[in-house]
Structure 1
Amino acid sequence: MTNLLALHPADRVADFRARGWWTDETVQGLLDAQVAARADRLALVDPANKADLTGGPPRRLTWGELDDEVTALAARFLDLGLGPGDLLGVQLPNSVELVEVYLAAWRIGVVVSPLPVQYREHEVRDLAEQARFRVFVSCARLGDRSPAAELAGYADALPGLVHLVALGDPAAAPAALPDRVEVVPTGPASDADRAAVAAHVAEHPADPNACLTVCWTSGTESRPKGVPRCAHDWLAICWATVDAPRMTADDVLLNPFPMINMAGINGMFLPWLRTGAVLVQHHPFDVPVFLGQIAAEGVTYTVAPPALLTVLLQDEALLSRVDLSTLTRIGSGSTPLSPTMVRGWADRGIAIINFFGSNEGVALLSDPQDVPDPEQRARYFPRFGAPGVTWTTRVADWVGVRLVDPVTGAEVTEPGTPGELRLSGPTVFAGYLDGDGRPSPFDETGALRTGDVFEVAGDRREFLRYVDRAKDLVIRGGMNIAPAELEGLIGAHPAVADVAVVGYPDDVLGERVAAVVVPRAGATLTLEELVDFLRQQRIASYKLPERLELRTELPRNPVGKVLKRELRAQQAAS
Structure 2
Amino acid sequence: MFLTPAERTADHVSRGWWDGACVDTLFQRAAMAGGAAEAIVDPLNREALDGRAPERLTWLALQDRVERTCAALIARGLAKDDRICVQLPNTIDAVTIFLAAARLGLILSPVVMQYRAHELSHIVEQAEPRAFITIPGFHGHDHAAMAAALAEALPGMEVLVFGPTAHGVDLRAAIDAADPATVAPWLAGNPVDAGEVLTICWTSGTEARPKGVPRDHNHWVLNAHVLVWACEMVPGDVLLNPFPLVNIASIGGLVMPWLEIGGKLVLHHPFDLGVFLKQIAAERVTYTIAPPAVLTALLKQPAIMGDTDISSLRAIGSGSAPLTPWLIEGWADGYGIEICNIFGSNEGMSLISSPADVPDRAERAHFFPRFGAAGISWDSPVARVIRTRLIDEASGEEITTPGRPGEMQISGGTTFAQYWRSPALTRAAFDGDWFRTGDLFEIAGDGPLERFYRFVGRSKEIIVRGGVNISPAEIDELLVGIPGVREAASVGVPDADLGERVAVAVVVEDGATPPSVRELGERLAAAGVAVFKRPERVVAVPALPRNAMNKVMRADLRALVLAAE
SS of residue in 1 equivalent to 2:90: coil
Q: CA-atom RMSD, angstroms?
A: 3.0
Letter in 2 for 1:369: A
Deviations 1:30-60 (A, max 9, x none): 1111121121111000000001111121100
SS of residue in 2 equivalent to 1:437: helix
Letter in 2 for 1:297: E
Q: How does 1:125-164 map to 2 (within 5 A)?
A: 125-157=121-153, 159-164=154-159
Q: How does 1:251-266 map to 2 (within 5 A)?
A: 251-266=237-252
2:314 to 324, 328, 334: 328
8 Å contact kept, 2:71–2:175 = no
Check if 1:403 corresponds to 2:390.
yes
| Distance (Å, rounded) in 2 between the aligned partners of 1:332 and 1:414 | 28
Identical-pair percentage: 43
2:329 to 337, 340, 343: 343
Check if 1:61 corresponds to 2:57.
yes
| Distance (Å, rounded) in 1 between the aligned partners of 2:145 and 2:91 | 20
| TM-score w.r.t. length of structure 1 | 0.79
Structure 1 residues 388, 12: CA separation in 2 closer, same or farther (over 3 Å shift)?
A: closer
The corresponding residue for 2:487 is none
SS of residue in 2 equivalent to 1:223: coil
8 Å contact kept, 2:72–2:174 = no
| Distance (Å, rounded) in 2 between the aligned partners of 1:204 and 1:372 | 47
Shift of residue 541, structure 1, vs aligned partner: 10
Check if 1:181 corresponds to 2:176.
no
Check if 1:124 corresponds to 2:120.
yes
SS of residue in 2 equivalent to 1:440: helix
| Distance (Å, rounded) in 2 between the aligned partners of 1:94 and 1:251 | 20
Shift of residue 222, structure 1, vs aligned partner: 3.0
Q: How does 1:224-239 map to 2 (within 5 A)?
A: 224-239=210-225
SS of residue in 1 equivalent to 2:418: coil
8 Å contact kept, 2:277–2:305 = no
Q: Report how many aligned residue pairs link the two structures.
A: 487
SS of residue in 2 equivalent to 1:335: coil
Letter in 2 for 1:75: A
| Distance (Å, rounded) in 2 between the aligned partners of 1:571 and 1:354 | 32
The corresponding residue for 1:463 is 452
| Distance (Å, rounded) in 1 between the aligned partners of 2:61 and 2:557 | 55
Shift of residue 568, structure 1, vs aligned partner: 8.8
8 Å contact kept, 1:313–1:345 = yes
Shift of residue 309, structure 1, vs aligned partner: 0.5
SS of residue in 2 equivalent to 1:56: coil
SS of residue in 2 equivalent to 1:200: helix
| Distance (Å, rounded) in 1 between the aligned partners of 2:310 and 2:16 | 39
The corresponding residue for 2:41 is 45
Deviations 1:401-447 (A, max 9, x none): 10011111111111111111010111110100001333624444320
8 Å contact kept, 2:204–2:547 = no
8 Å contact kept, 1:307–1:507 = no
8 Å contact kept, 1:422–1:449 = yes
| TM-score w.r.t. length of structure 2 | 0.81
| Distance (Å, rounded) in 2 between the aligned partners of 1:259 and 1:316 | 30
Deviations 1:206-259 (A, max 9, x none): 101111000001455432110001111111122221112211222101000121
| Distance (Å, rounded) in 2 between the aligned partners of 1:503 and 1:94 | 34
Structure 1 residues 413, 302: CA separation in 2 closer, same or farther (over 3 Å shift)?
A: same
Structure 1 residues 571, 319: CA separation in 2 closer, same or farther (over 3 Å shift)?
A: farther
| Distance (Å, rounded) in 2 between the aligned partners of 1:566 and 1:278 | 38
Structure 1 residues 507, 90: CA separation in 2 closer, same or farther (over 3 Å shift)?
A: farther
SS of residue in 2 equivalent to 1:152: helix
The corresponding residue for 2:12 is 16
The corresponding residue for 1:419 is 406
Shift of residue 194, structure 1, vs aligned partner: 2.6
Shift of residue 23, structure 1, vs aligned partner: 1.2
| Distance (Å, rounded) in 1 between the aligned partners of 2:70 and 2:301 | 46
The corresponding residue for 1:248 is 234
Shift of residue 451, structure 1, vs aligned partner: 0.7
2:188 to 199, 202, 205: 202
2:278 to 292, 296, 299: 292
Letter in 1 for 2:143: P
Structure 1 residues 273, 160: CA separation in 2 closer, same or farther (over 3 Å shift)?
A: farther
Structure 1 residues 130, 160: CA separation in 2 closer, same or farther (over 3 Å shift)?
A: farther
The corresponding residue for 2:534 is none
The corresponding residue for 1:438 is 425
Shift of residue 66, structure 1, vs aligned partner: 0.3
Structure 1 residues 141, 503: CA separation in 2 closer, same or farther (over 3 Å shift)?
A: farther
Letter in 2 for 1:463: F
| Distance (Å, rounded) in 2 between the aligned partners of 1:79 and 1:420 | 48
| Distance (Å, rounded) in 2 between the aligned partners of 1:297 and 1:150 | 36
The corresponding residue for 2:467 is none
Segment drifting more, 77-86 vs 433-442 = 433-442
The corresponding residue for 2:298 is 312
Deviations 1:65-85 (A, max 9, x none): 001010101111111111111
8 Å contact kept, 2:313–2:337 = yes
Shift of residue 361, structure 1, vs aligned partner: 1.6
- Structure 1 segments unaligned to the other structure (5+ residues): 171-176, 476-482, 484-501, 509-539, 548-562
8 Å contact kept, 2:439–2:459 = yes
| Distance (Å, rounded) in 2 between the aligned partners of 1:189 and 1:208 | 29
The corresponding residue for 1:489 is none
Shift of residue 391, structure 1, vs aligned partner: 3.2
- Structure 2 segments unaligned to the other structure (5+ residues): 463-471, 474-490, 492-502, 510-545
The corresponding residue for 2:520 is none
Letter in 2 for 1:413: T
Deviations 1:271-327 (A, max 9, x none): 101110200000000010000000010011000011111011111212342111111
Shift of residue 507, structure 1, vs aligned partner: 8.2
Structure 1 residues 439, 265: CA separation in 2 closer, same or farther (over 3 Å shift)?
A: closer
| Distance (Å, rounded) in 2 between the aligned partners of 1:85 and 1:342 | 44
Check if 1:267 corresponds to 2:253.
yes
